[in-house]
């Protein structure tokens, strides 16, 4: 997660729409270890997203589900 590598103490609140997806599979470290939306809502004003049942690289492992999430977030136009 970007939050692990950036010193956000010097960054103002991000004002942009962020849609996050992360893996929730059996080895899903991020899903087990963090409240992902809560972490990002401390740093950005508009955050949505959800865990998807997959392995590490979502677009390769579940491309249709990732596509559906992006279309739902951005719209189909």
Report residue 35: phi and psi, to 5°. -90, 90
The structure tokens listed for 59 are 């677009």
Whole-angstrom distance, CA of residue 25 vs CA of residue 8: 28
pLDDT band at residue 31 under the 50/70/90 scheme: confident
Structure tokens at 74: 């951005």
Band (pLDDT 50/70/90 cuts) for residue 8 is low
- Rounded to whole angstroms, the Cα distance separating 36 from 51 reads 9
Can you read off the two tokens belonging to residue 1?
């997660």
Residues recorded for the chain: 77
pTM (two decimals) = 0.72
């Amino acid at each position: 997660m970007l939050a692990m590598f950036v010193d956000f103490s010097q960054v103002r609140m991000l004002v942009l729409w962020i849609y996050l997806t992360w893996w929730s599979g059996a080895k899903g470290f991020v899903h087990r270890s963090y409240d992902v939306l809560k972490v990002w809502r401390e740093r950005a004003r508009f955050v949505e997203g959800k865990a998807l049942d997959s392995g590490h690289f979502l677009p390769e492992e579940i491309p249709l589900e990732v596509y559906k999430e992006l279309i739902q977030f951005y719209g189909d136009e």
